[in-house]
């Protein structure tokens, strides 16, 4: 074979390889095009439009009359007393609800992961059921129990202390909201923790028992470190969910009236304030600015958790110098 023929074959092979690469690339982009198009139209474009709206005085009706006002909506948020109240309530709600939810669901998963307990499947189903009840049904169930005047819980209290009516849905609305949210979130949190517990290698537990570890030492030195990635995952999701809480306090608030709905200060969360600015007062630009500020707060707290994760989250495959060890 001459050098000219060899060179021609090499060129032909390169052309065929180039054609295959182009076809593979084209096929890849055709497959991802529906998702990519949906992501751009349903995520990126609304975010861009929302940010531009936050820089205007748009009221939801007069698009032609809206004008660009720059950062006025953002500066206004920092002087809004109701915004400060809602943010403080949300921070308190998150500080109460998220750790409580983590501890209770983790404890339930530990209890239901024990071997030799009869009826485990029944209890797992029972604890998960509140998670599948529609939120409107959940609210009406708890309203019957916690109503300030005619609730079942106040009826029981009045048996021992006649004439006593605890304002569960007004003064203690935040505590009541925490109890309801915890009850509805038991199932989802428990299932994820249970999956993490069942993924812990039995060899590690057996080795710890052979070394003389008791139950507490086994939990402290084996179970808890191996569960830190799951705890980290649950913490991030719980934090984001807590800041975005809207439906439960909105439906639980007493005395909802058209145009004048105003939840009690105890459960006046940040999303409720943004909702009222949007749908009650038609301040679309200001409400969108509030939501962008909430996004910044959630992002900052999430990044803080990620930064601290290196000190308390344990992974089986530690990466050092770009290689697993």
**Higher per-residue pLDDT: 100 or 2:** 100
Rounded Cα–Cα distance for residues 225 and 316 (Å) = 10
- Average predicted confidence (pLDDT) for the chain: 86
Give tens-digit pLDDT for 4-13: 656 666 667 6
Rounded Cα–Cα distance for residues 178 and 182 (Å) = 6
Give tens-digit pLDDT for 200-228: 888 888 888 888 888 899 999 899 999 99
Give pLDDT, residue 10.
Answer: 66
Distances (CA, A) of 122 to 117, 193, 201: 11, 18, 25
Give tens-digit pLDDT for 69-100: 999 999 999 999 999 999 999 999 999 999 99
Give tens-digit pLDDT for 153-175: 988 888 888 877 888 888 888 88
CATH number 1.10.3720.10 is the correct assignment for the domain at 81-324: yes
Give me the residue spans of the domains in the chain: 81-324
**Do 141 and 135 meet the contact criterion of CB atoms below 8 Å apart?**
no
- CB-based contacts of 128, cutoff 8 Å, min separation 6: 186, 187, 188, 190, 191
């Amino acid at each position: 074979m001459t050098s000219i023929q060899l060179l021609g074959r090499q060129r032909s092979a390169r052309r065929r390889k180039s054609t295959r690469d182009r076809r593979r690339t084209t096929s890849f982009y055709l497959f991802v095009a529906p998702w990519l198009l949906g992501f751009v139209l349903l995520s990126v474009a609304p975010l861009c439009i929302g940010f531009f709206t936050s820089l205007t005085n748009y009221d939801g009706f007069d698009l032609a009359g809206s004008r660009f006002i720059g950062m006025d909506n953002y500066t206004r948020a920092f002087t809004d007393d109701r915004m400060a109240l809602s943010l403080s309530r949300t921070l308190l709600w998150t500080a109460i609800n998220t750790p409580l939810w983590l501890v209770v669901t983790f404890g339930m998963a530990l209890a239901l992961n024990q071997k030799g307990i009869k009826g485990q499947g029944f209890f797992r189903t029972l604890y998960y059921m509140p998670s599948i009840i529609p939120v409107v049904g959940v609210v009406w169930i708890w309203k019957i129990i916690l109503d300030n005047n005619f609730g079942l819980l106040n009826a029981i209290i009045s048996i021992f202390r006649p004439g006593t009516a605890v304002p569960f849905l007004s003064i203690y609305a935040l505590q009541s909201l925490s109890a309801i949210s915890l009850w509805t979130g038991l199932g989802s949190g428990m299932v994820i923790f249970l999956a993490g517990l069942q993924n812990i290698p039995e060899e590690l537990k057996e080795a710890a028992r052979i070394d003389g570890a008791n139950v507490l030492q086994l939990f402290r030195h084996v179970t808890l470190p191996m569960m830190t990635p799951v705890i980290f995952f649950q913490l991030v999701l719980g934090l984001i969910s807590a800041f975005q809480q809207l439906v439960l306090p909105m439906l639980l608030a007493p005395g909802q009236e058209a145009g004048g709905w105003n939840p009690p200060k105890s459960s006046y969360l940040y999303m409720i304030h943004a909702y009222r600015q949007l749908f009650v007062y038609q301040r679309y630009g200001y409400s969108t600015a509030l939501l962008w500020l909430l996004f910044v707060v959630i992002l900052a707290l999430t990044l803080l958790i990620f930064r601290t994760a290196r000190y308390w989250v344990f992974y089986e495959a530690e990466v050092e110098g770009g290689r697993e060890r």
